Amino acid sequence: MGIEGIGARVARKEDKRFVTGLGRYVDDMVVPGMKYAVFVRSPHAHAAIRSIDTSAAKTMPGVIGVLTGPELKSDGIGNLICGWMIHSKDGSPMKMGAWSPLATDKVRYVGDAVAIVVAESRSLARDAAEAVAVEYDELPAVTDAVKALEAGAPQIHPEAANNLIYDWELGDAAATDQAIAGAAHVTRMRIVNNRLIPNAIEPRAALGHYNPAEDHFTLWTTSQNPHVARLVMSAFYNVAPENKLRVIAPDVGGGFGSKIYIYPEEVVCLWASKRTGVPVKWVADRTESFLCDAHGRDHVTEVAMAFDTDNRVVGLKVDTIANFGAYMSLFSSCVPTYLYATLLSGQYAFPHIHCNVRAVYTNTAPVDAYRGAGRPEATYVLERVMETAARELGMSPAELRRRNFIREFPHQTPVIMNYDGGDYEASLNAAMQAADYAGFPARREEAKRRGKLRGIGMSCYIEACGLAPSQAVGSLGAGVGLWESAEVRVNAAGTIEVLTGSHSHGQGHETTFAQVVADRLGLPLDQVSIVHGDTDKVQMGMGTYGSRSGAVGISAIVKALDKVETKAKKIAAHLLEADEGDIVIENGEVKVAGTDRSLPWFQVALAAYTAHNLPAGMEPGLKETAFYDPTNFTFPAGCYICEVEIDPETGVTEIVQFVAADDFGTIINPLIVEGQVHGGITQGVGQALLEGCVYDPTSGQLVTASYMDYTMPRAADVPSFKVSTTSTPSPSNPLGIKGCGEAGAIGSPPAVINAITDAIGNNDLTMPATPQRVWAALRKAQ
């Protein structure tokens, strides 16, 4: 590695614009003639629309247009879809209800969009939105997925009887039941994974601009995957053909999954721009973000883990009900299936697993992937039950895990995944050492003398990243391929632009991707620029989610660099009159190995463009494109240990120590990787201690719709973290990268809850573990 190459702790190139206020987010964009949009939203969780009267609003000051669902329909704009087909165990396809970008006949959750008002300013649009009169016939609502399945529950979509979207299974039910029936010990639990609201600090925004002269649309949007947005809006929503629609995702202020999906607002702003003849900008206020961004998690699970007399797991049975909200969001269907049940083997050699999942409509915001997406839910089930089993069996939680670890690779699990490598013992040992696990009893005693209850808990997670081999996910129902593209453009004087289909919204691609190029060619980092987030610049890409940008996005760059290097060597061999096989590229020079004959990199680049003296038949230019399709998922894994102190009088939990030992394979930039882990852990701690989305069960109103009501983790809620890495490079991609973006959020919730339940001596505790819940659980245990 050079000082700026792979493995170097380089400060980020993109930071200067962010620390000086020169980042450019969607709300910073100004287009001549631009006007502002406000959406009229349903105040009811479930109601029939009797009438919409826009006449008063249309006469309000500054109003340019007020548009509703029937007009959208008459212009042929399509319904929003879920792009991953899941079949129920009876073979029937999932039951997808219609989702019109503007509701026409019925509203199904508080916040469902009914109309758009376009006006001269945000405040005038807001004033006019107040004047849109919608008459509703209220219907009974249901927000809880278990209740939505009960007989007599309100029926949300005519397509989905009993609100059941699918009833799906994975694994061998009979073999698992038999293993449990013959087991020496069975640990059973009911586990709730609390609903979360993503809360990227930049609210979602869209600026739609229709140019009638070209019959062309431009959309600036807060997207993690602008190309997927263009594809879906063209192919399914009938907004415009791809060559007439440019999608730009400029600086984007965090995503965490919530900016993957194509929401009603983007579609409606584009359409409204054509209808009203002005560019239309919409920016969510925070309450709209709470109401309408896709939420995460919300599972209720019954689990049974069965052991033989040697405390080896013989079977795992999981039965989950997943709340999907009022509509099926773009990738919602794959989250509690192929991103969840496939990870239920964890780090362990389980012979039998069976998982059943029922996906259910409710009168709540749509639910989709949120940092980790399915894998945190699987890890939480597995690691809570593993720790609880250790307590029931009177065995150290570390030793019980150790006894069940997978030790040989490749390992075929009973739930599809084929793990290609790992060393779970190494991360467990590293975490236990960093946490001084052996010294815990003394710390517990010391805390007791101060009147505090101290507990320790661990979690050994695995996740599947590098989404994903296209053929494999296609066979499982995905509507898209999950490869990535890259174009490496060597300019005539040798500087480089890399165009990538990945999208950075905080991950630091402008630095890490440039490090890979700088490392390969020995160029200074500032001679490499990364271009992303614009469908007019980058031809096609699949975007950033599922910790895929390193394992898939960088692999595409490496593949394109291979081609660039091959051509550059051919040119250099010709110019230096040497054999192509003897040419090496080092430190910005193209050399004949073992001699003093060399050319500076820029001279080879220049030769490619002057084309005065190229090998016979060679095309001028030095620019190569590659599409990289992964051969397997990657499998980051690690061990997290949390130590807490609880005040028994108040139930207040303080995290006094948090240790992470992760195996991410090859690391490009440790500074950035550590930052990803810190942020992920804090989101996981948020889920475990603070964050809980609450709907009123009868009215369906979102009770936690602002930062006054939904508890975000703040600086004083978390400690400084002790993070470290072990490394088994992934054998499935050229650099051995595994992915690090979600691990923190996946591994941390069970570690926190296992620590609290250890401290209070009661395994029955639900997230978020608020002081009230901890206090009550403690009283019950005493």
Partner 1 sequence: MADISMVINGREVRGSVEDRTLLVHFLREHQGLTGTHVGCDTSQCGACVVHVDGKAVKSCTMLAAQASGSEVTTIEGLAKDGHLHPVQAAFKEHHGLQCGFCTPGMIMAAVDMIRRYPGGLDEKTVRAELEGNICRCTGYHNIVKAVLAASEAMSKPAVAA
Q: Interface with partner 1 by CB under 8 A: which residues?
A: 11-12, 14-25, 27-28, 30, 123, 199-203, 251-254, 256, 283, 285-287, 505-508, 671-672, 674-675, 678-683, 706-708, 712-716, 718, 720-721, 744
Nearer to partner 1, 123 or 539 (CB): 123
Nearer to partner 1, 193 or 676 (CB): 676
Burial 621-630 (b: 16+ CB within 10 A, else e): ebbbebbbbb
Query: Which of 540, 560, 556 is CA-nearest to residue 548?
Result: 556
Least CB distance to partner 1 at residue 77 (A): 29
Using CA atoms, how far apart are residues 84 and 333, in angstroms rounded to an integer? 6
Nearer to partner 1, 252 or 644 (CB): 252
Least CB distance to partner 1 at residue 507 (A): 7
ω into 468 cis (within 30 of 0):
yes
Query: What is the sign of the dihedral through the CA atoms of 90, 335, 291 and 691?
Result: positive
Nearer to partner 1, 252 or 614 (CB): 252
Nearer to partner 1, 294 or 521 (CB): 294
Nearer to partner 1, 286 or 391 (CB): 286
Least CB distance to partner 1 at residue 16 (A): 7
Question: What are the tokens at 369?
Answer: 């992937």
Measured between alpha carbons, how far is residue 768 from residues 32, 403, 447, 690, 761 in Å? Answer: 47, 31, 24, 5, 17
Using CA atoms, how far apart are residues 397 and 619, in angstroms rounded to an integer? 63
Least CB distance to partner 1 at residue 721 (A): 6
Over 452-512, what HEC string results?
CEEEEEEEEEECCECCCCHHHHHHCCECCCCCEEEEEEECCCCCEEEEECCCCCCCCHHHH
Using CA atoms, how far apart are residues 32 and 211, in angstroms rounded to an integer? 12
Least CB distance to partner 1 at residue 560 (A): 26
Using CA atoms, how far apart are residues 152 and 390, in angstroms rounded to an integer? 41
**What would the DSSP string read from start to end of 79-133?**
PP---B--B-TTSPBP-PPP--SS-SSEE-STT-EEEEEEESSHHHHHHHHHT-E
Nearer to partner 1, 240 or 294 (CB): 294
Nearer to partner 1, 284 or 306 (CB): 284
Least CB distance to partner 1 at residue 335 (A): 20
Cα torsion 477, 360, 366, 246 to 10°: value is: 20
Nearer to partner 1, 253 or 469 (CB): 253
Question: What are the tokens at 582?
Answer: 């003897």
Pairing mode of beta strands 299-307, 353-361: unpaired
Question: What are the tokens at 645?
Answer: 């102190």
Which runs of consecutive H residues, i.e. helices, occur in 224-263?
226-235
Nearer to partner 1, 16 or 190 (CB): 16
Least CB distance to partner 1 at residue 475 (A): 35
Nearer to partner 1, 527 or 748 (CB): 748
Least CB distance to partner 1 at residue 284 (A): 10
Least CB distance to partner 1 at residue 712 (A): 5
Using CA atoms, how far apart are residues 607 and 571, in angstroms rounded to an integer? 8
ω into 93 cis (within 30 of 0):
no
Nearer to partner 1, 344 or 690 (CB): 690
Least CB distance to partner 1 at residue 255 (A): 8
> Is-contact 33 278, C-beta < 8 A?
yes
Nearer to partner 1, 368 or 674 (CB): 674
Least CB distance to partner 1 at residue 289 (A): 9
Query: Which of 365, 318, 315 is CA-nearest to residue 191?
Result: 318
3-state helix, strand, coil in the chain (%, to 5): 30, 25, 45
Least CB distance to partner 1 at residue 333 (A): 26
Q: How far is CA 721 from the centre of its chain?
A: 22
Using CA atoms, how far apart are residues 51 and 42, in angstroms rounded to an integer? 13
Nearer to partner 1, 73 or 722 (CB): 722
Using CA atoms, how far apart are residues 638 and 405, in angstroms rounded to an integer? 12
Least CB distance to partner 1 at residue 672 (A): 7
Nearer to partner 1, 68 or 547 (CB): 547
Question: For residue 401, how many C-alpha atoms fall within 13 Å in the half-sphere facing its CB?
Answer: 28
603-606: long-range contacts, CB 8 A cutoff, minimum separation 24: 603/494, 604/494, 604/568, 604/571, 604/572, 604/575, 605/490, 605/491, 605/492, 605/493, 605/494, 605/568, 606/492, 606/493, 606/494
CB atoms within 10 A of CB 462: 27
Least CB distance to partner 1 at residue 17 (A): 8
Radius of gyration of the chain (CA): 27
Nearer to partner 1, 421 or 675 (CB): 675
Least CB distance to partner 1 at residue 513 (A): 15
Cα torsion 76, 79, 81, 85 to 10°: value is: -80
Nearer to partner 1, 457 or 506 (CB): 506
Nearer to partner 1, 199 or 342 (CB): 199
Q: Which three-class secondary structure state does DSSP give residue 313?
A: strand
The one-letter amino acid at 516: V
Least CB distance to partner 1 at residue 334 (A): 24
188 Cβ contact partners less than 8 Å away, ≥ 6 residues apart: 302, 303, 304, 305
Least CB distance to partner 1 at residue 10 (A): 10
Place of tokens 């490079």: 729
> Is-contact 179 753, C-beta < 8 A?
no
Question: What are the tokens at 8?
Answer: 């170097």
